[in-house]
């Protein structure tokens, strides 16, 4: 990477952060004005009931800012819009649109039903198929096995891996968004190893796009830390899930996504285990699911939950990064 490329990257990252810090206060005021506020579940934690009315859909900002900046930079810099970055941006915006529809229904109805689960899953599935077909047109169906440094061609079965990646990851990130600052911070931590992988593979445009998102999330996090002034909503969480799944796919780090995103995996597994066990036995394994609520029920403050989960995320990211380079 030469000096001019580095300066372009730095300027884009600073712009991404600066724009977020600039527009978030106005966005919060506007969402307050039109009453686009959070509606907490009736069966949720009592300590969360005070969050009713807090503006949601904050994910709109950290979707639009890096997307806009990357498209602008692609017009005059080396960071072009190729198939890899197009897939990542389409996943980011596409899943964000599904989340926006879900959030809009929730806000209008003033309840937490939103899109029917079947409809949401169908839309997520359609996008997963689209991204598989786009990616398959220019890349192989081989999966890289970390540490062993071998590639295994899955052929048609690669479709099922991609399908699971997109549908599972979007839901996993969505479940993680339940405590102030948790999801945004965890995503920043999880994306950093993928920036390193992109640099190592010489995919500077992918690295730059991820960095724009990371700096936008840092700007968003300033307003989302406890006590949160705004929530990302399904708009943001589904977008981030689609983004990281697409990043892992184009960088051929599909398996390491599980390691790096283990906190997200634990969150969604806690819900699956809780629901399936309760349906069979009418008993709960966790005090409350997703997993972060289990620890809140046990007496942990929101801040303690967030810091401990972030620490776990840092360990997972470091392990994944090491596995990817040794």
**Structure-block tokens of residue 50:** 């005070």
- Whether pTM > 0.75 for this model: the answer is yes
Separation CA 13–CA 219 (nearest Å): 11
Q: How far is CA 146 from CA 11, 73, 142, 256, in A?
A: 33, 33, 13, 8
Which run of H or E residues covers position 144?
strand 142-145
**Structure-block tokens of residue 156:** 């048609």
Separation CA 207–CA 9 (nearest Å): 9
On whether the CB atoms of residues 179 and 225 are closer than 8 A, the answer is no
Report the DSSP beta bridge partners of residue 151: 144
On whether the CB atoms of residues 184 and 220 are closer than 8 A, the answer is yes
Per-residue pLDDT of the chain (326 residues; tens, 9 = 90+): 788 888 999 999 999 999 999 999 999 999 988 877 766 555 556 566 566 778 989 999 999 999 999 999 999 989 999 999 999 999 999 999 999 999 988 887 766 677 888 898 999 999 999 988 888 877 888 999 998 888 999 988 999 999 999 999 999 999 999 899 999 999 999 999 999 999 999 999 999 999 999 999 999 999 999 999 999 999 999 999 999 999 999 999 999 999 999 999 999 999 999 999 999 998 999 999 999 999 999 999 999 999 999 999 999 999 999 999 98
């Amino acid at each position: 990477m030469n000096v001019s490329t580095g300066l372009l990257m730095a300027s884009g990252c600073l712009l991404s952060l600066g724009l977020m810090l600039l527009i978030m206060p106005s966005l919060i005021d506007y969402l307050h004005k039109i009453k686009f506020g959070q509606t907490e579940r009736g069966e949720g934690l009592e300590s969360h009931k005070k969050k009713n009315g807090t503006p949601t859909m904050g994910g709109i900002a950290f979707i639009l800012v890096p997307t806009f900046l990357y498209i602008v930079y692609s017009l005059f810099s080396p960071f072009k819009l190729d198939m890899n970055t197009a897939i990542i941006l389409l996943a980011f915006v596409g899943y964000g649109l599904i989340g926006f529809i879900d959030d809009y229904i929730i806000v209008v109805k003033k309840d937490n039903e939103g899109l029917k689960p079947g409809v949401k899953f169908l839309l997520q599935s359609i996008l997963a198929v689209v991204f598989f077909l786009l990616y398959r047109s220019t890349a192989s169906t081989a999966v890289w096995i970390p540490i062993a440094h071998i590639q295994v061609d899955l052929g048609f079965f690669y479709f099922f891996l991609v399908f699971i990646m997109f549908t599972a990851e979007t839901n996993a990130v969505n479940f993680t968004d339940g405590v102030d600052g948790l999801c945004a911070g965890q995503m920043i931590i999880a994306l950093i190893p993928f920036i390193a992988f992109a640099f190592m593979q010489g995919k500077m445009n992918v690295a730059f796009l991820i960095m724009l998102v990371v700096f936008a999330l840092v700007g968003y996090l300033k307003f989302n830390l406890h006590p949160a002034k705004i929530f990302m909503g399904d708009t943001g969480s589904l977008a981030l899930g689609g983004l990281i799944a697409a990043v892992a796919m184009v960088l051929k780090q599909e398996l390491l996504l599980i390691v790096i995103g283990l906190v997200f995996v634990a969150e969604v597994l806690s819900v699956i285990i809780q629901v399936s066990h309760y349906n069979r036995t009418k008993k709960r394994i966790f005090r409350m699911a997703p997993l972060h609520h289990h620890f809140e029920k046990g007496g942990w403050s929101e801040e303690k939950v967030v810091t401990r989960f972030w620490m776990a995320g840092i360990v997972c990211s470091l392990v994944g990064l090491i596995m990817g380079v040794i």
